[in-house]
Amino acid sequence: MNFEIPDPSTLKDLEAVAHRVAIACGRLIVDERPAHLEVAATKSSATDVVTIMDHRSEQLAMGLLQELRPDDGVLGEEGVDISGSTGVTWIIDPIDGTVNYLYGIPWFGVSVAAVVGDAGVEGGWRPVAGAVYNPITDELCSAYLSGGARLRGAGKVRDLRFDAPPDLASSLVVTGFSYSSGKRAWQGQIASELLPQIRDLRRMGSASIDICSLALGRADLYYESGINSWDMAAAWLIITEAGATMRGFDTPYPTKRMAIAGRADLAERIVEIIAPRWDELPRDS
Ligand code: LIP
């Protein structure tokens, strides 16, 4: 599939917009978190929660994008869905790691990605610029297509380069589990088969930060079933610009059914371990 890629100058501008929006939303959700935060609604299951701050963050992102890039489309996790006329659509996760945020666990982020193609069709879009901001560590990972990836934090900027371990046995693997109990049973079986073959497993609760951890040298492989475009769009670009690959189980792009990231040969080992149980994976979400 061919995608119409903006020129490099525009791509740099898109990264700067993603940077500004991600930080503004990250500051909002930390600085204005109510002392007693309640669940405002649930989505795919009783444990798939939304808070008032998810909505406030998404509204802030939408307002900034309409100011900075008024003719682009916007697609947000919490319901914003605006068509554009430029060929660029912004995909927003206003709080990635909402359960951590609700419980006061200091590990969540904001993901802001500019994509081209059809953002509503799996495999029909590609990220061209993006930013993932962790307001707890004040670290911002960002990238633009063919422009590399970088980390901004503590007043410094450094280029991000992915470096993989020699084999699966020395790999620190990060994953996540679904809000669907049926899928969690399957995910638990996969994790139990994987654990004896890897260094260790981490489940930290924010997919975009989990994926970016590969570019930060904090994990070696990532896999998860059930993440959405807003969880992965910016981080997918960041880690590929840093030198990692990201794929699906049997697709060259990550899908909701399976997203796998890391060095290509080690990602293939994850596929091999999943393959015998692939058809057992519930298709509910
Ligand atoms: C979450 C992801 C997490 C995944 C959860 C959920 P949310 O996103 O970041 O990795 O395991 O099921 O999808 O719901 O906090 O935006």
Residue-wise pLDDT tens digits, 225-257: 999 999 999 999 999 999 999 999 999 999 999
Report how far ligand 1's centroid is from the alpha carbon of 196 (Å).
25
- 275 burial level (CB within 10 Å; 0-12, 13-18, 19+): exposed
State pTM to two decimals: 0.96
> 198 and 171 in contact (C-beta within 8 Å)?
yes
Report how far ligand 1's centroid is from the alpha carbon of 197 (Å).
25
Atom of ligand 1 lying closest to residue 93 CA: 16
Query: Distances from the Cα of 226 to the Cαs of 27, 57, 129, in angstroms?
Result: 27, 22, 23
Specify the pLDDT at position 284.
67
Residue type, 138: D
Q: With bands split at pLDDT 50, 70 and 90, how would you rate the model's confidence at 43?
A: confident
**207: Cβ below 6 Å to ligand 1?**
yes
Report how far ligand 1's centroid is from the alpha carbon of 7 (Å).
33
Atom of ligand 1 lying closest to residue 230 CA: 16
71-96 pLDDT tens trace: 999 999 999 999 999 999 999 999 99
At 278, is the secondary structure helix, strand, or coil? helix
User: Candidates 47, 50, 95, 99: which one to mutate for ligand 1, based on the most atoms within 8 Å of Cβ?
Assistant: 99
